[in-house]
Structure 1
Amino acid sequence: MTFKELKHFLGEINVKVDDLYAEKLFNECDTSHSKTLEGSEIEEFYKRLTYRNEIEVIYSKYASSKGKMSVEDLGNFLRMEQREDVGLNEAVALIQKYELDEAAKEKKLMSRDGFLMYLQSSDGLVLNPTHTLVYQDMSQPLNHYFISSSHNTYLMEDQLKGPSSTEAYVRALTKGCRCVELDCWDGPNGDPVIYHGYTLTSKILFKDVIRTVKEYAFKNSEYPVVLSLETHCSMDQQKVMAHHMKTILGSMLLTAPLGGKMPTHFPSPEQLKGKILVKGKKLQSREHSMTSPESLQGEEEESVSEEDEAADLPEEKGMPKKSKLKLARELSDLVVFCKSVHFPGFETARETQAFYEMSSFGESKAFKLAQESANRFVIHNTRQLSRTYPRGTRTDSSNYNPVDLWNAGCQIVALNFQTSDKSMDLNQGKFQQNGFSGYILKPRFMRDGQTQFNPTSIMQGEWLTPKKLHVMIISGQQLPKVNKNKNNSIVDPLVRIEISGVPRDVCSAETEHIEDNGFNPSWNKNFQFDICVPELALVRFVVEDHDTASRNDFVAQYTLPFMSLQNGYRHVPLLTKEGNPIASSSIFVHIMVVDQ
């Protein structure tokens, strides 16, 4: 590697250095005086380049055994800095797991390299590793959980002319989604198709989607999947839909209440493991047949009107007038615990609705209720399931902020999974806890039918457990370039911390930017935040490339629940805009959560 090649290499790894400094570093490492770096000289250069003074300071503070950390030293660090309640056995286990030097490991010592390996491992990350497993009670009724949910799942892009694909279902299901949507229309040759009605989006066969769901439903999570049907098909093709679901899904498809008798409340995710539920319209008389089969005699098909997204679309020329659809008995029979009904108002719902009757709310209606009747919405959702979806005018497949609807207890807050934005960051961040299972148990105060919790007006109650969050943004490691094709593409990074949750907790703060260094920027900036309802709060770390002339460019982000934060010196692993990990890229922070 010549000096010229070295300069190019530094630009490639997102760091701009002064020519004099780069030449000095080059000459110090060129011990052979050959005007090139080879083998061990390159290794020495990279060691100097990646040297992290902040790690050295922390390590030196605790390493009292001839410049290395003993078991006792490491135990002290874990208790004092990381606030972990551990003994010597746990410290020994970490040395065995992360120490690279066999001689040090034999003596139960941890070197600087081993210490850095620990800090960059899952044990040293900001997300509590126990929360990466299913740790919550999964035996509560289904409506006591937030459920990761997708809107217009079949779309890869926009709502007007973008492609539909079974691949979109694969993406959603592998991202932990547990409720997918199927817009079903009459297709050629008597086979139903899925697409966005009255638009130029491409069409896919209903049966191909069902096959895809069967293959991918339980690859990442064993907990139930809900098929949210929006049916615009003729009676004949509704029967074909029912046939495809029964023959393709087989025993996965839930076609009757567990034990054959309709309970008085939802079964739990645990009881429904490996099951696929259908959400849709249901014939009234078929519903009664669960308890009284003789009522089926003389049954007629009933008219059922659609109440979902299609109702939100503005009527245009050439668009057929909305007509009442007849519902096929075969399709009706597949709806057990998720019967779609029109929302009659909170009072009427409380007095007349069965627990399995659920309503879908367009974004505008949902936000209005969440703002003006928040407590009543929360109470409604202690008994019923609620689904919300983006308004029909979001033709670019953009998303609303899901947090306010989670705050109102809505379980199925459907988002456009095909769109990478802050809303999807929040969704992925919220659902990465509990083993990425797609189900998160609501806080106790949101499961109590008498709750007085109101997210828009926080009063005294069990939800009010104020915490002070202290965050020090220390440094960044190997941040990605924003534009790899530009010559002058080295980032000027800044970090912003965003708190989402009840309105009272929403806030943000950011560091100053660092000029021309995406490789190892250093900020050492302290922030503090007051959080009054920590069980509903999310913390988002955003890295941006500062630009004085235009909007800052997004570089990377990471979002996690407040309750999943680990105290102490932690690395925050960074994700792309699409939510995928960026190898070796992180920010180093110190976290301290204190009761107020």
Structure 2
Amino acid sequence: MDPEGSRVQDDPDVKVMMAGSTLRKVKSKSWKKQRHFRLLEDGLTIWYKSRWAGRGHSTFSVTEVEAVREGHQSEVLLSVAEEFPADVCFTLVFHGRQGNLDLVTETPEEAKAWIRGVRKLIHKAQTMDEKERLDQWVWDWFQRADKNKDGKMNFKEVRTLLKMMNVDMDEEHALHLFTMADKSESGSLEIEQFVHFYKMLTQRDEVWKVFQDYAEDGEKLMLNELENFLSIEQHEGEQSSQHARELIDRYEPSGSAKKQSAMSLDGFQIYLCSLEGSVFKPEHRELHQDMSQPLCHYFISSSHNTYLLEDQLRGQSSLEAYIQALKRGCRCVEVDCWDGSDGEPVVYHGHTWTSKILFRDVVSTLKEYAFKASDFPVILSLENHCGVEQQTLMAQHLTQILGDTLLSAPLDGQLPQQLPSPQELRGKILLKAKKISDPGDCVDETPTDEVSDEEEMANDDAESPSTEDPPPAECANETGKKSKSKLSRDLSDLVVYCKSVHFHGFEHARAHAQCYEMSSFSESKAKRLAKDAGTDFVQYNARHLSRIYPGGLRTDSSNYNPQEMWNVGNQIVALNFQTAGLEMDLNDGLFGQNGGCGYVLKPDFMRDGSTRFGPEKPGERRGYRPLRLSIQVISGQQLPKVNQKEGSIVDPLVRVEIYGVPQDQAKEETSHINNNGFNPVWNETLNFVVHAPELALVRFEVEDYDKASRNDFIGQLTLPFACIQAGYRHIHLLSKDGTAIPPSSLFVNVSISELT
């Protein structure tokens, strides 16, 4: 068995990779070290080590690599461009938050071979079907456990493998399975026999029981039996007939079963483990929402301090941080601009030790990456601390670099009565900044002009002081009421639909505010307004964009819970994308729908300017329809180890959490299973009532139980309640970083019903 097939192994570029190359790993201008890299026999693992590091080495899987960039396409390789020409340089970009790997080859030919080879292997990994993926996974385990590399595994190696796979199996039972698989009675298993052993090991009684309920002969599901299963259990109704035929064509591995229009147990299990059998409705993953409504009618995926890769006191400012956020579908990025010492504006977190990057380089990065993940508009939120001269230079960079991509005038030449839609603004970058209302350079803080986030926070949040001083005033106010800042007319003229203004209350906004005026709120002010005037906030956000940003005490770049802000219709809820955790899981969960385009249409009761909806009383609205959610947590499959100590095996439990309006906040959990991360079975049912299902997110989290200390995180999946498929479903778990960890999953039976 060779899951990648001879085609890829025989490829000349892959052969170069398997033979190995000495490459320079570059971390900075001063850190450039030689490492020996090679592709292992599994065709998926890249191994590398230093000649001087003794037995120490590192590995990573091709499945962790998102893309290969040729030449000087990273800040690190640009910094050494004079030393190493572009044709010997390339960058491996990883999924999630893992840093890039910048490499330099000895010759251009070697660089081309590695670039082409890695790209072919990425493509191969991405296009594998469910069976190939499983075969590959089994092959990987065989390779890891075959310590002496003789292509066979004795019982001692198998026992070690079981520990590696998170299985604490009774030795007698393991020996029994080993003996059954050892058909040649040689005392060792070759790969084909190991596959047989693995199948016995992973035989899933809970799937077999469901299969038996519908397969009359116990061997296969005939077409009408599969239709019954889809209709009764999977709640597919009329579409089940056509779907049953498609599933057999797609997932049934047996040719003879296909000819009978039937599905075997193997095919049934492969279907249940596929994306179609997952808990996330496949049609909701695609772009399916109405994108022709005003911008303020959408939640918009938004980043705070986008330039930072780490915390906001000492972290590194980096163009890579913008690239990572944009690749994740972020549609509102933040730029903190300050006067640069050499006349060029720079981007960094003011009054801190964070490193600086050039504003023009940020704009160039936006030009290249803004529309790779989504072609809906990107909002550039400008925190402007520059003097007029460098502001004018910023305006030049924006217009010259972005060209037609920058929206610099209203779409129809008229001041709008309502904001344009994401559809109308496709492929456009919008500037959010202050704008001069009257002739002349000086602007004081009139009702239509906004102070910076830092000043806003100082005004709003005496209990949460900003970590930054307000920027110095550029010119004095003749009346002596307040200091005021000079704005460049050139920069001001580029602001069209996102004019930053100070918030003077809901009454004032109703009477005076224009639809293209928007305000920023610190998290604590937004929380207060949501609690004290929730319905007013929802109504305000039906007409205007609002941006929420983390409080000043979050110097570690931690995040607040965005759900509280979405509950009152705030669109631009800015989070530190560089910080993994629950809050980013919720953000990824909300924006994982609608094609991951970064825009999600708000529920209809939040788009009506006269709505009576408020998060504190969800029942007081038109169309109120609470739902009951029942989740039978059946089993888990191949959960990852969290403690890499040999012999350490997880004790998993499952927690289901609801995030929504205050009345819906809830969590329930199963008991824990001792020493089994491989195939734990719970068969426990968790029940919830959801009063505002249109706003709710459901989070499935698996933890390693520890009675003496805090439980360790194993994996999670968060998705909108509206995207859940009822029936027997698999939940494909994600790492803390939000990346896939196949084949780790949960098997559940989901039921959704009206509350009677």
Q: Shorter-chain-normalised TM-score: which range?
A: over 0.9
User: Do the aligned partners of residues 331 and 487 (structure 1) sit closer, same or farther apart at CA in structure 2, a change above 3 Å counting?
Assistant: same
1:303 aligned onto 2:443: yes
Alpha-carbon shift at residue 273 of structure 1 (Å)? 0.6
* 1:161 aligned to which of 314, 317, 323: 314
Q: How many aligned residue pairs are there?
A: 582
The alpha carbon displacement at 1:87 in A equals 4.1
CA distance in 1: counterparts of 2:223 and 2:214, whole angstroms:
11
**Within the alignment, does 1:498 sit opposite 2:671 as a pair?**
no
2:596 is equivalent to residue 436 of structure 1: yes
Partner of 1:53: 205
SS in 2 for 1:284: coil
Match of 1:117 in 2: 270
8 A contact 2:212–2:218 mirrored in 1? no
Question: Which of these residues, 288, 311, 314, is aligned with residue 135 of structure 1?
Answer: 288
- 1:357 matched residue in structure 2: 517
- C-alpha separation in 1, matches of 2:355 and 2:422: 34
1:413 aligns with 2:573: yes
**Aligned partner of residue 544 in structure 1, secondary structure:** strand
In structure 1, the partner of 2:167 is: 15
Q: Tell me the distance in 1 between the aligned counterparts of 2:407 and 2:468.
A: 41
Residue by residue over 1:391-430, the C-alpha shift from the partner in whole angstroms, topping out at 9 and shown as x without a partner, is 0110000011111110111110101100001011001001
2:375 is equivalent to residue 222 of structure 1:
yes
Using the TM superposition, name which of 505-514 and 84-93 deviates more: 84-93
The match for 2:341 is 188
Q: For residues 272 and 566 of structure 1, what CA distance do their matches in structure 2 show?
A: 32
- For residues 196 and 469 of structure 2, what CA distance do their matches in structure 1 show? 72
Cα deviation code 1:6-49 (max 9, x no counterpart): 11111111111122222222223223222222233212211111
Quick check: 1:519 aligned with 2:704? no
Q: Please list the CA deviations of residues 83-136 of structure 1 after superposition, one character each: whole Å capped at 9, or x if unmatched.
A: 012242221111111111122112211111111111111211100000011111
Report the equivalent of 1:292. Answer: none
Evaluate the alpha carbon distance shift between residue 317 and residue 583 of structure 1 in structure 2; reply closer, same or farther with a 3 A threshold. closer
1:377-456 paired onto structure 2 within 5 Å? 377-456=537-616
- Shift in CA distance, 318/528, structure 1 to aligned 2, threshold 3 Å: closer
Matches within 5 A, 1:95-114: 95-114=248-267
Q: Secondary structure in 2 aligned to 1:307?
A: coil
Equivalent residue letter for 2:653: L
1:70 to 1:13, Cα distance in 2 relative to 1, 3 A: same
SS of the residue aligned with 1:375? Answer: helix
Amino acid in structure 2 at the alignment position of 1:179: C
User: Aligned match of 1:558 in 717, 721, 725?
Assistant: 717
Q: Which amino acid aligns with 2:433?
A: G
Contact 2:377 2:426 in 1 (8 A): yes
Tell me what 1:574 maps to: 733
Corresponding position: 1:489 with 2:648 = yes
**1:472-497, Cα deviation, whole Å (9 max, x unpaired):** 0011111111132x124311111000
Matches within 5 A, 1:162-311: 162-285=315-438, 299-303=439-443, 307-311=451-455
**Which region of structure 1 is more displaced relative to structure 2, 417-426 or 114-123?**
114-123
Alpha-carbon distance in structure 2 between the residues aligned to 1:494 and 1:89: 38
From 530, 544, 548, the counterpart of 1:370: 530
CA distance in 2, matches of 1:159, 1:483: 30
Distance 1:347 1:89 in 2: 55
Equivalent residue of 2:209, what SS? Answer: helix
The alpha carbon displacement at 1:322 in A equals 5.6
- Is 1:463–1:533's contact at 8 Å kept on the other side of the alignment? no
Distance 2:589 2:650 in 1: 25
1:347 matched to which residue of 2? Answer: 507
Which structure 2 segments of 5+ residues have no match? Answer: 1-152, 459-464, 475-483
Q: Which residue number corresponds to residue 290 of structure 1?
A: none
CA distance in 1, matches of 2:522, 2:273: 43
Q: Which range moves more in the overlay, 537-546 or 57-66? A: 57-66
SS at 1:243 equivalent: helix
CA distance in structure 1 between the aligned counterparts of 2:515 and 2:391, rounded to whole angstroms: 25
Counterpart for residue 40 of structure 1: 192
1:71 matches 2:223: yes
List gaps (5 residues or longer) in structure 1.
Answer: 286-298
Normalising by structure 2, we get a TM-score of: 0.75
Output the amino acid matched with 2:161: F
- State whether residues 232 and 325 of structure 1, in contact with CA within 8 Å, keep that contact through their aligned partners in structure 2: no
Kept in 1: contact 2:654–2:702 (CA 8 A): yes
Instruction: Give the SS at the match of 1:449.
Output: coil
Q: CA separation in 1, counterparts of 2:603 and 2:304?
A: 25
Code of the residue aligned with 2:174 in structure 1: it is A
CA RMSD of aligned residues (A): 1.6
> What are the within-5 Å matches in structure 2 for residues 77-96 of structure 1?
77-85=229-237, 86-96=239-249
Deviations 1:424-455 (A, max 9, x none): 10010011111111111111111111111111
> Paired residue for 2:62?
none
1:334 aligns with 2:494: yes
Larger RCO: 1 or 2 (CA < 8 Å, sep 6+): 1
Cα distance in 2 between the residues matched to 1:527 and 1:90? 30
Aligned to 2:746: 587
Q: Which moved more, 1:259-268 or 1:552-561?
A: 259-268
Distance change in 2, residues 1:82/1:320 (3 Å): closer
Alpha-carbon distance between aligned partners in 1 of 2:680 and 2:340, rounded to the nearest angstrom? 56
Contact 2:351 2:468 (C-alpha < 8 Å) held by counterparts? no
Q: Give the corresponding residue for 2:115.
A: none
C-alpha separation in 1, matches of 2:500 and 2:262 = 62
For residues 250-287 of structure 1, the C-alpha deviation after alignment (integer angstroms, 9 at most, x for no partner) is: 111100000212221000011001111000000003xx
Q: Aligned partner of 1:44: which letter?
A: H
Residue 533 of structure 1 is matched in structure 2 by 692
* Aligned-partner Cα distance in 2 for 1:208–1:460: 50
| Cα distance in 2, alignment partners of residues 373 and 460 from structure 1 | 15
Amino acid at match of 1:202: S
User: What does residue 621 of structure 2 align with?
Assistant: 461
Deviations 1:536-591 (A, max 9, x none): 11100001011111000111100000011001000001001111111211101000
- TM-score when normalising by structure 1: 0.95
Q: Do the aligned partners of 2:350 and 2:468 also contact (CA within 8 Å) in 1?
A: no
**Contact 1:198–1:319 (8 Å) recurs in 2:** no
Distance 1:203 1:369 in 2: 35
Q: Within 2, Cα distance between the matches of 1:463 and 1:407?
A: 17
- Aligned-pair distance for 1:512? 0.8
SS of aligned partner of 1:335: coil
Give 3-state SS (helix, strand or coil) of 2:497's partner. strand
Secondary structure of residue in 2 paired with 1:211:
helix
Could you tell me how far apart the structure 2 residues matched to 1:124 and 1:196 are?
45
- Cα offset, 1:245, TM superposition: 0.9
Moved more, 560-569 or 105-114: 105-114
Distance in 2, Cα, partners of 1:393 & 1:405: 19
Q: Are the structure 2 counterparts of residues 319 and 274 from structure 1 closer, same or farther at C-alpha, using a change threshold of 3 Å? A: closer
Separation in structure 2 between the aligned mates of residue 520 and residue 233 of structure 1, nearest angstrom: 59
**Could you tell me which amino acid in structure 1 is paired with residue 562 of structure 2?**
P
Instruction: Give the whole-Å Cα distance in 2 for the aligned partners of 1:307 and 1:263.
Output: 24
Amino acid at match of 1:492: D
Residue of structure 1 in register with 2:75 after alignment: none
